[in-house]
Structure 1
């Protein structure tokens, strides 16, 4: 959902309109925040890498986490301490999470390796990215995606960065088929408030039931993964 920066690379992202629309996805956003925050102990250092409009970072108590973001239009929306270059970060983190960001970065493996240097030994990384290249559509083009992922690619990126993957699975079972239909219909890549609300309230809760029934091992619109720095 956001753009991100590493010291050697800037990535242009023009999907601010989609970010605004996705703010209406109450169940989707709430579920991802719950996933991110579920195992954070009091006092742990946390970084939201590619914080976008602050959808997730702003849910934490003020000043309790850091955020990294480079879009100047989005920076005023983030209520946490925010950095525009991760080379500015001097502390080590217990948790770094990144939601819908790596797909906007051409050299995604290099940025993950750099993030690992910001982790404490035993620190965790949580990654959420769009899944399955066969459903790459005008929407991906519109928001500046380089690619979509499968589980094997996410595991490879994390392991190549020296991390031990503890969980990797597909997420949003029904979303895969909705996205496939979206591509077949040749939609222009934009989404509406009404479509987001309908999907979030009606389809997404059912989709998550199928995620649980399949264990996230069959298909989904996204890949969700967790890894630890040894």
Structure 2
């Protein structure tokens, strides 16, 4: 059994309630799906690592994406072929994406190396993680996060896995300040449907505009990155 497999099995993820709430974030989820899908070519092999409730994998035609997920409560929600152990996957991929997953894994570097080995030469890895340790709050504790990231750390784990980083920016400018306020107010780590809908419809579009104006180089609630396996 690989270290990556051992690590994945030990992840205690209790954020299913938050995942359900986040399904109301229409703009947020659509934006991330567009990012994942924007450069996919017909016939490419794709893996969603840490597919959760299938929010992104289920948007693809059934059978066109493999999904990796270890939470037994979430497996029935995924409409794609699903695996609980990536070592079961004999093939390699043109694209692997992982959205809000690495922060749940203690030894994230080992997992990224495992994913790198699952890429074809020239294959892409897309990573989306929560940013900035200074806004680590009860919400992070509630959903089982080990850490939040900055651009330097994301670059480091990708490069340590032998990948070439092609893109690494902050994402959701305004979300950083909302999250900082959330921490200062000492909230209990839970979110409501009403707060998600308000943020998604009112704040998030403005936040993405600010991302564009700052070119993702100043601050954000998340880090969004892409890397390729050298040919």
TM-score, scaled relative to structure 1:
0.97
Paired positions, count: 226
Where do 1:1-230 residues align within 5 Å? Answer: 6-9=4-7, 10=9, 11-230=11-230
Q: Which runs of 5+ in 2 are unaligned?
A: none
Query: Distance between the aligned counterparts of 1:194 and 1:93, measured in 2?
Result: 38
Distance 1:33 1:54 in 2: 11
Counterpart contact for 1:6–1:86, Cα < 8 Å: no
Per-residue CA distance 1:148-180 (angstroms, 9 max, x = gap): 000000000000000000000000000000000
Secondary structure, aligned partner of 1:8: helix
CA distance in 2, matches of 1:116, 1:89: 13
Offset at residue 8 of structure 1 (A): 2.0
Q: What secondary structure, in the 3-state scheme, does the structure 2 residue paired with 1:39 have? A: coil
1:101-155 CA distances to partner (integer Å, 9 max, x unpaired)? 0000000000000011110000000000000000000000000000000000000
Deviation at 1:18, TM superposition (A): 0.2
| Alpha-carbon distance in structure 1 between the residues aligned to 2:156 and 2:129 | 14
Superposition RMSD in Å: 0.8
Tell me, what secondary structure is at the counterpart of 1:182? helix
Query: CA–CA distance in 2 between the matches of 1:6 and 1:44?
Result: 25
Which blocks of at least 5 consecutive residues in structure 1 are unaligned? Answer: none
Distance in structure 1 (CA, Å) of the matches to 2:38 and 2:124: 12
| 1:74-117 C-alpha deviation (Å, 9 max, x unpaired) | 00000000000000000000000000000000000000000111
For the residue of structure 1 that corresponds to 2:96, the secondary structure is: strand
Question: Does the residue aligned with 1:149 lie in a helix, a strand or coil?
Answer: coil
Q: Which runs of 4+ in 1 moved over 4 A?
A: none
1:6 Cα offset (Å): 3.5
Q: What is the CA–CA distance in structure 2 between the aligned matches of 1:193 and 1:107, rounded to whole Å?
A: 32
Q: For the Cα contact (< 8 Å) 1:168–1:226, is it kept in 2?
A: yes
